[in-house]
Amino acid sequence: MSDKYDKGDLFEGDELTVTIKLEDNTEIECIVLNIFEVDTREYIAVLPEDEECEDVYLYRYTQKDDGEPELTNIESDEEYEAVVDAFEEILDMQEFEEFLSEDDDFKD
C-alpha cells in the first residue's frame, strides 16, 4: 500500500491491501477497512483476506518518509479500548448511513 488511504471511505472504492507480519513471522494479506484518528494518533483497521477469518486487527498507523505505511502494535489496554470504541462508532455510523440510504430507496 503506497498511497495514503482516504479516511472515512470505509468499505468503499478500490480495495487497498497491506501485508501484516504476525509474531510468529507468518505474513497475511489484509484488506484496509479504515484509517482513523483517536486523540492525536492515527490507527488502521484491517481484515485478513482469508474468508474464514472474521477478526479485525487494529494497529497504530503512520507513514514513512517514502510514503510506505508503518503499522505498530497498540501498547496499552487503555489505548486499545479507546481505539476499539472509536472503530465501533465508525461501524455504527456506517450502518446508520446504509439504513438511511435504504430508507431513501423505499421513498422513490
Structural domain includes residue 91: yes
Structural domain includes residue 52: yes
Q: Count up the domains in the chain and report the number.
A: 1
Structural domain includes residue 25: yes
17-46 per-position pLDDT tens digit = 888 888 899 899 999 999 999 999 999 999
Rounded Cα distance between 9 and 14, Å, is 10
Structural domain includes residue 10: no
Number of Cβ within a 10 Å radius of residue 74: 18
Structural domain includes residue 11: no
- Give pTM, 2 decimals: 0.74
Structural domain includes residue 63: yes
| Residue 14 confidence (pLDDT) | 66
Residue 28 structural domain: 17-107
Contacts of residue 30, defined as CB under 8 A and 6 or more positions apart, other chains included, come to 17, 18, 19, 20, 46, 47, 48, 49, 57
Structural domain includes residue 5: no
68-106 per-position pLDDT tens digit = 889 999 999 999 999 999 999 999 888 877 777 776 555
Structural domain includes residue 71: yes
